[in-house]
Structure 1
Amino acid sequence: MATRGYRKGDEHSDERIYRCVGSLTISRAATTEREIELMPDGMTIDLSGVNKMDTVGAWLVYRATRDRGARVEGASPEAEGLLEQVRQADVPVRVTPEEEGTGFKRGVSELGEYVVEAGQILFGLLNFFGATLIGFWQVFKRPQQRFRMNAVVTRFDLVGVRALGIIGLMSFLIGIVIGQQGAVQLRAFGAEIYTINLIGRITVRELGTLMTAIMVAGRSGSAFAAQLGTMKLTEEIDAMRTIGVSPTEALVIPRMMSAIVMMPLLSFYAMIMTILGGGIYCWIDLEIPPLTFVQRLQEVIPITDVWVGLIKAPVFGFVIALVGCFQGMLVEGDAEQVGLRTTNAVVQAIFLVIVIDAVFAVFFSSIGWI
């Protein structure tokens, strides 16, 4: 229980006092808080009659001293220690007013962080690329002991066979879209026949391989990152190292070989499906017979365009598998990292594919393959 009253001082002053008797605990927190609120500022809290006090009671007393200018007297050593702990734990939240230029500084700081992070990722990717080349060399030196045919064939199924449906449908629809959009623009000049040129060259030289690479990055690259990331979390990769099996040779190289081998085949398949979609559109809407369509394709598509598309495909496959496996090997901590690294694998693989495609475009143009 607690009481309120006056304690006489000298003849010139009269000081208010709040006397606490018995226990000052959470069970009496509401009552104690109401009684303290009725006291005037600058009160004195007498704790000489308190035989038990917990953290809640100490907080009420400390808050009165902090906010109301109260003074504490008669506290036992235990109560003094508890009040001191509460005081030390009370760290005020300091809100720093936004200074002029803070937004600009924050933007520059975040840009710097992104640049540093990009540099670290690039360095790590180059390091992983070097380790992969060493792994390929080890497999090449002793293929009978180190080459895992079953793993490579299994990845052929994942990267190639199971992707035929989605890549075929996507390519077929893209062919229709290219034909329709090209015909709309060329009809104004009475040159609908050149829609065949547009479909043929853009598909064989650029779009077939590029769209296939983007689909493989989103499908197989993400799968590589998720698979290796899950194995990293379950410590399977560490177990492989413990028993003397190289994770690079057992996990990374089969995935890379499957992507390198299957990408040209998928790209050629995508080219055929895109041309098929465009040819059906030209037949139905432009009334161009299929035989005329095929003959026109033979006239306008040079063999160099086919080689350009097929040369780029294995390079794209290697980059997609490299980034996917690299991000999967970076997983650590918890399952959330798997999703994060999988997302990073897809984004980085698509970005690098587009950059490399631009480099190839400049290179082939410089050697006259245009």
Structure 2
Amino acid sequence: MTQRNRQIEGATPDAPVHGARVSGGVLSLSGRLLIENIAGLSRETGEARAIDLSEVSHMDTAGAWYVVDLQRRMADGDDAADVTIRGADEAQQQLLETVRRNMPAGDAATIPRRTLADRVEALGRKTVATGRAAVELTEFLGQVMAALGRVVIHPSRLRLTSLVHHMQEVGWNAIPIVALMSFLIGVVLAFQGSVQLRQFGAEVFVVDLIAIAVLRELGILLTSIVVAGRSGSAYTAAIGSMKMREEVDAMRTLGLDPIDILVVPRVLALILMLPVLGLISDVAGLVGGAMMSWIELGVSPAVFQSRLVSNTDVWHFLVGMIKAPFFALIIGIIGSYEGLKVGGNAESLGRLTSTSVVLSIFMVIVADALFSVVFALIGI
């Protein structure tokens, strides 16, 4: 074994780094080409067309990358094979060849500027993808409704323990945040309404404003948005995690329907608990509005109650309660559907969880707008 080979294997003390020098068209490298040393070496190659490694004592992967990069710089667009590397022993040659095979082909191609036709094509593709997703979601809705129908016909198919657990998670555990949010909304409505109505001496009508806004729209709408962000995302994350761990595939292998086991209890829990949360939201909103009306306008709780009962149609309350099951169905279906679409990586789980929340809130607002139009047309 030669003295230089013994140095490469580490049998001798560390050699100093002598760097690189160009002489007679040859770039001679010397010393130790290691990751901690190559940063200080020059990358100027001059007119050299060959690289001499006979004085290199140590070389690691970073050093091999440095040599291959110098070879490409010398080629300057020509075939890099025209620039010779000499003086390398067998181990160094193998390392250089391994690094060369794994080097990127070159600078990334410049991304061409998008034309109007490209933008129209991208818009068309997104439109088609959205249409396909809508069809798939409608199909999934049909499957869930069929599963709910089977549960109604055969109640023994219902997983009662799972249902009660999800009712607690969706309903009971959400009461504090829903009640606090609605209370503050009532306070804001009373305060802002009083500022505007005081200009016309109609402060007492703030009761009608609060009652109609909270009972008919804001109570159930804001509750649904909170539930979509809280429970809809939890549905997607939980089912998506099971999909990542292949538990859903294992269910199908055992002859179990994931919709019956995972989706139906969650959707049914939402359908049962969202009206309850809506009722709590309405009460909290009215309490907040009554408190601020008393503080800001001097409308006593007794006056607030009597005007609320005498001037507020019961249909304002029923409109909100009618919306609740439909909003619950939207949130449950979208949350479960996105969860079952999760792939085998964490990136898809995070992306689809965000998609679930955004899509649920958007569809709830769209449904609320449609309900408003329908109720206005029938005079409710």
Shared fold per TM-score greater than 0.5: yes
* 1:160–1:262 Cα contact (<8 Å) kept: yes
CA shift for structure 1 position 321: 0.6
Deviations 1:59-80 (A, max 9, x none): 544542337999668989x98x
2:76 paired residue among 50, 66, 69 = 66
Report the Cα offset of residue 303 of structure 1.
1.7
Equivalent position of 1:327 in the other structure: 338
> 2:230 aligned with 1:216, yes or no?
no
8 Å contact kept, 2:243–2:344: no
State yes or no: 1:139 paired with 2:144: no
Q: Which residue pairs with 1:10 in the alignment? A: none
TM-score w.r.t. structure 2 length? Answer: 0.78
Quote the Cα distance in structure 1 between the aligned partners of 2:180 and 2:26: 83
In structure 2, the partner of 1:92 is 106
AA at the equivalent of 2:197: L
CA contact (8 A) 1:201 1:300 kept: no
Say whether residues 1:157 and 2:168 are aligned partners.
yes
The amino acid of 1:162's aligned partner reads N
CA contact (8 A) 1:62 1:87 kept: no
For 1:250, the equivalent position in structure 2 comes to: 261
Deviations 1:28-74 (A, max 9, x none): x98xx97x967x63x66499x99xxx955565445423379996689
Note closer, same or farther for the CA distance 1:193–1:234 as it changes in structure 2 (3 Å cut). same
| CA distance in structure 2 between the partners assigned to 1:161 and 1:4 by the alignment | 78
Matched, 1:342 2:342: no
Matches within 5 A, 1:113-128: 113-128=125-140
Identical aligned pairs, as a percentage? 36
The equivalent position to 2:195 in structure 1, one of 169, 184, 196, is 184
For residues 333 and 149 of structure 1, what CA distance do their matches in structure 2 show?
30
Measure how far apart 1:206 and its partner are: 0.8
Quote the Cα distance in structure 2 between the aligned partners of 1:184 and 1:267.
Answer: 27
Q: Tell me, in whole angstroms, the C-alpha distance in 2 between the residues paired with 1:248 and 1:183.
A: 50
The count of aligned residue pairs is 349
Cα RMSD between the aligned structures?
3.9
For the residue of structure 1 that corresponds to 2:235, the secondary structure is helix
CA distance in 1 between counterparts of 2:160 and 2:79 reads 81
For residues 138 and 79 of structure 2, the distance between their equivalents in structure 1, rounded to whole angstroms, comes to: 64
Q: Which residue pairs with 1:207 in the alignment?
A: 218
What are the ranges of 5 or more consecutive residues in structure 1 without an aligned counterpart?
6-15
For structure 2, the 5+ residue unaligned runs are: 5-19
* Separation in structure 1 between the aligned mates of residue 68 and residue 324 of structure 2, nearest angstrom: 72
Give 1:142 deviation, angstroms. Answer: 2.5
1:114 Cα deviation from its structure 2 partner: 3.8
For 1:271, the equivalent position in structure 2 comes to 282
Distance change (3 Å), C-alpha of 1:25 and 1:267: same
Report SS of the residue matched to 1:188.
Answer: helix
Could you say which residue in structure 1 is the equivalent of 2:11?
Answer: none
**Does the aligned pair in 1 maintain the 2:50–2:86 contact within 8 Å?**
no
1:62–1:86 CA contact under 8 A, matched in 2? no
User: For 1:155-213, what per-residue CA distance to the aligned partner results, in whole angstroms no more than 9, with x for missing partners?
Assistant: 11111111111111111111010000000001111110110110011111111110111
